[in-house]
Amino acid sequence: METAEIVRRFLAFFEQNEHTVVPSASLVADDPTLLFVPAGMVPFKPYFLGQRTPPYDRATSVQKCIRTVDIDEVGKTSRHATFFQMLGNFSFGDYFKEKAVPLAWKLLTTPVADGGFGVDPDRLWVTVYLDDDEAERIWREEVGVPADRIQRFGVEENYWSMGVPGPCGPCSEIFYDRGPAYGAEGGPVADENRYVEIWNLVFMQYERGEGGAKKDYPILGELPRKNIDTGMGLERLASLLQGVDNIYETDTLGRILQDTAARTGVAYGADERSDVMLRVVADHVRSATMLVSDGVRPGNEKGGYVLRRILRRSIRNLRLLSGTDASFLHDLTETAISAMSGIYPELRGNADRIHEVVDTEEKNFSDTLRSGTALFGRAAERTRGSGSAQISGADAFQLHDTYGFPIDLTLEMAGEQGLSVDEDAFRRLMQEQKDTAKRDAKAKKLGNADISTYAQLLEGSGATDFLGYTDAESESRVLGLIVDGAPVTAARAGDKVELVLDRTPFYAESGGQLADKGTVAADGRGTVDVDDVQKPIAGLFVHRGTVRSGEIAVDDRVHAVIDSDRRASVSRAHSATHLIHSALRNALGPSTGQAGSENRPGQLRFDFTANKALAPAELAEVEEEVNTVLAGDIQVRDFETSLDEALSMGALAMFGEKYGDRVRVVEMSDYSRELCGGTHVNATGQLGIVKLLGESSVGSGVRRVEAAVGLDAFRRLSKESLLVGRLSEQLKAPREELPQRIDTMVSRLRAAEKEIEKLRAAQVLQAAEGLAAGAREHGSALVVAHRAPDGTGADDLRRLALDVRGRLGEDRPVVVAIAGVSKDRPVVVTAVNKAGQAAGLRAGDLVGVAARALGGGGGGKPDVAQGGGNDATAVGAALRAVEQRVSEAP
């Protein structure tokens, strides 16, 4: 049975049993305590916590999930995966154990011809919590599971909570017996390799208090409304129904794995090491495809870091498998899209964007591998220079963390050069990083209290009525006040306060548009200066500001007024953003998409996807096109419609953004049509003028343009005109000739600087003969230890050291140490001839001695090395330290 058919049957079964089919939420979690959705119940968490009233009593879903904690284990076992899908059915105070248990059994065991999964009931085992006699009785008496196939487990296995105070309760799990070939008899308690868990039924019937995540917390009592939360791994069920040994051989992952094997020329099943790599690629390519489809882009933080890591692991494994640096990722991504589009048809519509992101990251990582190889070479050189055969954990961690260089690659390259890596130190640094991330995540959980406070306000008073599209002021009522994170009944002068109103003209920051500012005043009582407005949860506008005077209280009637001039200026910037978006698509092609924006008074920035910088001529064309549209004074129209209708009209949607069934469309004739909730001008002529200020890179495959709009653009142009006028006057040249005149001056200046550099270098090298003549004996070696004039650069120091060494010949050991101070930082270069190296003297060792005296470090080859430090007063001590080390040499 194909995976798509499993999904169809599961949802159809529960829909027939009066469950609302809920589409999968985005992989990017709405919950601020989570990076990605890690479980099927997460989108329903506010309902289980009582923060919001569910719109249905029963629900069913197939939820996309990502778990990152076991990335390093992916491919090594038959069960670990980064991306997986969770089948689930949920009851919010409707039915409980007596209904959930028979439903699960019926779906699993009903014959395929009758719409079920056709699992042999004699191969199913059940576990219940230690004292959950009720669940055991239902399984035994109502379902008919033999008592000897029902086993009891403790709190670690069969009791569930969210890890924080709230709902909790016992679990009941269904296991499938794979047969004696997979392990010992005796049920799940005997062998969980043979008996595989396929479905977990959670019975939320109690409320827990503070305590540990898994245990050691008090049970405060029974919940007034008991809930059901079940989860069945789609991939694991598919492996059983398709008769394969693990999830990597199912029809979806298996297609990607087999394509990987075919393209790299490696047979699956021939070697465990290559099998692991093939499984890693299959999992990671599918995971990356799903993440990119949900709007995640590679980066160095949060979700972007996870995506970048799994893409780079894929590329690295593909190179190891194939033995080449050929590019396979584009084709494998297409295979993943094809394999998963039967369940998620939106992948086809997002295919161009997915390929663009993945292809760009593959190219960038190829560049990283080249630069990382050079960095590794320097680390290896430093290691040998210090007399060690082990690359430090710090170097390995820097390669991994800063440059994205995989540790397995570092280990392999070190082995090829006869070196090892201090893996213990590397692991410690990695653990410190993980511990820091965990502490940050734990700190973020403190936001739960705030979310609950907002949720209670929304639950008690309903969504805020936003009037800002038509009104700049309103008569409103204060529904809630929050000071220092806690609800209050009143706030007084000087208090930093958050207000929730029943209706408001204030725009809450979203879609790149900054929030409105203004005032909220209770007649004769008090005034609040509002400087920010946010929507911490959907539908609730929270006005943040300071009580300027008097007092404001819950239930006060207030007059809310926005700063209209500021709003108009921000709206001009937002409308300009839409025009720039269209002009960029016209210039670069339809694959160019918005990747972020910020609209503030009179200015904007717009981030867009592109693999290369815009040429100045292209930027000028975009600017001219936008201003031509302004001159046409096109009417700006907004309206609401269904999402499907908007997309069929060609409206652009923000890639990865979440939209409801009803959407707002903002259109400027046929030139621009986008889904947008922001505020805009009535006609493009109101923008006045748009001036592009520049274009730059802000990340992998993402560029940014910045612009000034309206009066801000005029002021900018006025200042530039004044500056050009002054330059024209000073250089005695017409404005149109300024570029050529300045280019000529810059060329002359550079030529003069090069000439000065040559003269200075020659002057430094003139000292070589005298330095060689002044060499002194230290032990069996001739030593020159010299401080060069301040300002001498590292390259000149190196040339001087090599010149002096060459003049002293190879008849006996020679050591040259030249130090200087350039830009307030000391630099030292050491050089040793072949006779000195044969005598056991190494330039890398000696420069290390000098650099430590300077408060720094360094390294290099045995014949020449360079180092530096922070203490410019210690140059003399550094040179003496070199002399002392040579004197002590055997």
**pLDDT for 650-699, tens place per residue?**
898 876 666 777 899 999 999 999 999 999 999 999 999 999 999 998 87
CB 410 within 8 A of CB 400: yes
DSSP 341-398: TTT-THHHHTHHHHHHHHHHHHHHHHHHHHHHHHHHHHHHHHHHHTT-SEE-HHHHHH
On the question of pLDDT at 448 being above 50, the answer is: no
Q: What pLDDT was estimated at residue 444?
A: 39
On the question of pLDDT at 577 being above 90, the answer is: yes
What's the distance, CA 383 to chain centroid?
Answer: 33
Burial class (CB in 10 A: 0-12, 13-18, 19+), 430: middle
Domains and CATH numbers, the chain: 3-248 (3.30.930.10), 250-443 (no CATH), 448-562 (2.40.30.130), 567-718 (3.30.980.10), 767-888 (3.10.310.40)
Q: What is the spatial distance between Cα 348 and Cα 352, in angstroms, rounded to a whole number?
A: 8
Q: Which amino acid is at 351?
A: A
Mean pLDDT of 412-418: 77
Q: What is the spatial distance between Cα 463 and Cα 52, in angstroms, rounded to a whole number?
A: 12
On the question of pLDDT at 636 being above 50, the answer is: yes
Which residues contribute to the annotated binding site?
A: 574, 578, 676, 680
Burial class (CB in 10 A: 0-12, 13-18, 19+), 321: buried
Contacts of 762 (CB under 8 A, 6+ apart): none
Q: What pLDDT was estimated at residue 439?
A: 58
CA distances from 217 to 147, 209, 446, 447 (A): 31, 6, 19, 21
Q: Average per-residue pLDDT in the chain?
A: 89
Q: What is the spatial distance between Cα 847 and Cα 827, in angstroms, rounded to a whole number?
A: 10
Quickly tell me which residue has 């306060």 as its tokens: 497
Helix (H, G, I), strand (E, B) or coil at 768: helix
| Closest residue by Cα to residue 230 from 205, 198, 188 | 198
Which residues contribute to the annotated binding site for Zn(2+)?
A: 574, 578, 676, 680
Higher pLDDT, 540 or 858: 540
Contacts of 513 (CB under 8 A, 6+ apart): 507, 570, 574, 599, 678, 679
CA distances from 240 to 184, 188, 196, 245, 250 (A): 19, 16, 9, 8, 9
Q: What is the spatial distance between Cα 283 and Cα 280, in angstroms, rounded to a whole number?
A: 5
Digit-coded pLDDT (tens) for 282-322: 999 999 999 999 988 888 678 888 898 899 889 888 988 98
Q: What is the token pair recorded at 346? A: 């939106």
Mean pLDDT of 272-276: 90
Mean pLDDT of 633-655: 89
On the question of pLDDT at 823 being above 90, the answer is: no
Helix (H) / strand (E) element for 829: namely strand 825-832
Eight-state DSSP code of residue 138 = I
Quickly tell me which residue has 């094997």 as its tokens: 261
Q: Which amino acid is at 517?
A: K
The pTM (predicted TM-score) of the whole model is 0.66
On the question of pLDDT at 395 being above 50, the answer is: yes
| Closest residue by Cα to residue 361 from 665, 796, 701, 749 | 701
CB 609 within 8 A of CB 295: no
Helix (H) / strand (E) element for 617: namely helix 616-631
Q: What is the token pair recorded at 317? A: 């494994």
CA distances from 751 to 740, 747, 764 (A): 17, 6, 20
Q: What is the token pair recorded at 437? A: 């991330």
Q: What is the token pair recorded at 129? A: 């919590």
CA distances from 808 to 660, 684, 779 (A): 81, 78, 16
Quickly tell me which residue has 């089919």 as its tokens: 21
Helix (H) / strand (E) element for 427: namely helix 423-444
Q: What is the spatial distance between Cα 736 and Cα 719, in angstroms, rounded to a whole number?
A: 17
User: Out of 227-231, 428-432, 565-569, 800-804, which region has the weakest mean confidence (pLDDT)?
Assistant: 428-432
Q: What is the token pair recorded at 644? A: 């499907």
Contacts of 119 (CB under 8 A, 6+ apart): 108, 109, 176, 240, 241
For the chain, the distance separating the N- and C-terminal CA atoms, rounded to the nearest angstrom, is 77
- Binned at pLDDT 50, 70 and 90, residue 446 comes out as very low
On the question of pLDDT at 11 being above 80, the answer is: yes
CB 825 within 8 A of CB 873: no
Q: What is the spatial distance between Cα 430 and Cα 827, in angstroms, rounded to a whole number?
A: 32
Contacts of 221 (CB under 8 A, 6+ apart): 206, 207
| Closest residue by Cα to residue 777 from 823, 836, 710, 840 | 836
φ, ψ of residue 536 to 5 degrees: the values are -65, -30
Digit-coded pLDDT (tens) for 201-251: 999 999 988 887 778 888 999 988 899 999 999 999 999 999 998 899 999
On the question of pLDDT at 443 being above 60, the answer is: no
Count the Cβ atoms, other than its own, within 10 Å of residue 86: 23
Count the Cβ atoms, other than its own, within 10 Å of residue 769: 12
Digit-coded pLDDT (tens) for 483-537: 988 889 999 999 999 999 999 999 999 989 999 999 999 988 899 999 999 998 8
Please list the alpha-helical segments (H only) found in 55-117.
97-109
Q: What pLDDT was estimated at residue 437?
A: 60
